[in-house]
Structures are given as C-alpha cells and as structure tokens.
Amino acid sequence: MPVSRRQFGSVRKLPSGRWQARYEHQGQRYPAPMTFARKGDALAWLAEVETSIRRGVWADPEAGKVTLGEWLEHWLATVVTGRVGSENTLALYAMIVRVHVVPALGSVALSELTPEDVDKFLVGKAAAGLSGSYVRRMRMILTDALRHAERRGLVPHNAASLSVMPRTPPPAPRRSLTAAEAQALLEAAKGERWEALIVLGLTAGLRPGELTGLLWEDLELDALPPKAKVSGSMKRRPDSSLYRDTVKRSRAGLRTVALPPVAVEALRAHRHRQASDRVAVGPRWQDHGLVFTSETGTPIDPAHLRRMFKRVAKKAGIEGASMPYLLRHSAVSLLLDAGAGIEEVADLLGDEPTTLHRHYRHRVRPVAFGHESGTTTRSLVRRTPLQAPHLHFLGRGGGT
C-alpha cells in the first residue's frame, strides 16, 4: 500500500481504508496506538509527537504501560533505598505506598494517571480523617516518585505536582510551659530517676532522641563553661528495637552546647545514682555509655519516658502535658521570651530560625498594652530565676 513519507515519521493507508502512523525515536520504532479515519488526522498525531520530543516531554508509550503500583515498588527499591538513610523513614514510605496509595491508584497505568485521579485520592484520605501533614506526606511521595518517572521519560507530566492539596482540619495547637510551670516542673522532678533528663531538656532544648542518646563521654561537666556535645540520637527501628544513630539535620544538629549550673548539678547527681544502679545489678548491667538508661543500663523505652513525664507533670499541677517535644518547645519559647536572640537559640537547638518561629515558638504569657506618655508599650514581667541562666549561657560562649 502507498506510504506517505515526511521529515518526521510516516503514514500509510491500510487495506481497510484507515491510516496508520509510525515514527522512529532513539533507535526504536513506535506505531500510533490507534488508526485514523483520515490522512490528515494521522499527520496531526505525528506533529504532536514531534512537538513533545522537541519540548522534552515525550513519554515512552511502552514504558507508560507500567502501572503506578509497579513503578512505586521500583521507586522504593532503587531511588528511596539509595537516598534515605533512616530505616524508619524507609518503613514509613513503604507503608504509605502499600497501605494507602496502591489500593486506590496502584492499577492505573503510569502514563494515564491524571491530576484529577490524585485530587480524588487526596480528598478521600482527608475525608477519612487523616491529618493534613499525613495527607501532604502522601502527596509528596507521589510527587517524588512521578518526578523520577518524568526524568526517565515515562510520563509527559507530573500528575501529583499538578494536584491540589485538599482542605484538612488544622492541627491541634501545641503549647509551651510558662516560666511558673517550668519552675513547678523542676521542683516536681527533684528526686526522680530521670530528673536530669527533664532539667537538660528544659534548659538546653535537646530533642527526646538526643537526650536518650546522650553519652557520658560527650559531657564536660568540669570545663569552663561546662558543656555537652550532641553527637547522636536514639531511634526506633520498624521492629521496635532501639539504636543510636546520627542526629536529625546532622549539619546543624551536631553541636556543642554550654550547660547552665542547674543542669550541671542535676547531671552530677544522676551520675552518682547510675553508679549505684551499676553496683546493685552487678553483671546484669549493660554498658552502652549512655547518660540516661534503664536500671540495667539499656536504652530508655520512649513509652516509659512518656509515662514518667506525664506523672511528674501531673505532680507539678500541669494537666495535658506530654512528651516528647513539650520540653523543647518550652525551651525555645522561654529563651526567646527572656530576650535571647533567635540565631543563638537556633544554634543551641540545632535547627533553623525559620523552623523555630514556625513550629516551636509559643506565647508563654499574655501580652498587655498600656499608654505611657502617649506611646504604646508592652507590659513587662520580671524574668524568673529559671530564665536567667539561659541568658548567661547563651552569651558568646553558648551554643556552637
């Protein structure tokens, strides 16, 4: 049958009277997935393909037959495994893909997935009551996986990046301790097994994993000023076992912080208490070099830590207080309220100033305005003894 040749691709008339189009790209021949009633329709289809190649948005039609579920499994096994170091993050990504995404969208061909498909999926998850941050995580995973498919020429566009994040309920408001509550908490913690952990969390703002992963060798209690090196963090594997690993945001997280006197005093008392524990259990003691441990030297189970903190907070008359981040949130808010600079506090906590403002800073006292000599001034409350050490050790020799 006659074949019409052109600069890109070719068309031919079939015995049925319909027209077939095909083209060659990167050494492979590709026929159109359908035949055309008119020659002009076949030529128009070829022109669209040629334009997509020139714009760099051409997608391999054969590879596009792969389903989204198959692609996500490939993405998890190759891209994510090679890029993400945390076992917990890997497990979370895999769970979201297999529990949420694949049942809803896994059978859709990769090249046929539309932004509307992703919109419908996200709306359904939001309607099911999942938190906004969790739904955003699902969208982020889909966006990342499809971005990789774009790079491989498997899809013409990223359907997830073109989707719309649905409205979700606002997260429950977080709070910080007021200065008076912080003082009450320190009083209630006196004599507790992990008193020093509460003191250190409240005065230095270490993350819970940084507190439970703190090593004795990283403390210099007799130095001037006394200081602690934050070199690792305790984490939980998917099988629930605990292990010590790098700190979160390792570039900023790896830091040395100066310790206020109240923390030094508590840590020295804790060292004596741990020495007594070691003698009491004898050969059953497991030495991991950790500052905060169980009665036999093993890492602290976060569940035990949460129960302890809730009990001490209740003893201090603080209702609704829970670990893990109340101490860290309180440290940020009290330091900033006491006049410490945002950059200094960010260095101390191993985080970015914008993150502190967005997630950690909370109002710890009412703001009242009064008029003096025709000007508006903020009412000031005298700083408590708890806050004074922060201003001292956040000076030039503070967090580094």
- The answer to whether residue 144 scores a pLDDT higher than 90 is yes
- The answer to whether residue 169 scores a pLDDT higher than 90 is no
- The answer to whether residue 327 scores a pLDDT higher than 50 is yes
- The answer to whether residue 183 scores a pLDDT higher than 80 is yes
Work out the percent of the chain whose per-residue pLDDT is above 70.
80
Residues 226, 264 contacting (CB under 8 angstroms): yes
- The answer to whether residue 5 scores a pLDDT higher than 90 is no
Q: Answer with the residue of higher pLDDT: 223 or 336.
A: 223
The rounded mean pLDDT for the chain is 81
**Cα-based angle 58, 59, 63 (whole degrees, multiple of 5):** 160
- The answer to whether residue 387 scores a pLDDT higher than 50 is no
The H or E element that residue 51 is part of is helix 39-55
Structure tokens at 302: 């976060």
Residues 212, 219 contacting (CB under 8 angstroms): no
Structure tokens at 211: 């507190």
Phi, psi dihedrals of residue 160, rounded to the nearest 5°? -70, -40
- CA atoms of 299 and 242, how far apart (whole Å): 7
**Cα-based angle 135, 137, 139 (whole degrees, multiple of 5):** 75
Residues 33, 116 contacting (CB under 8 angstroms): no
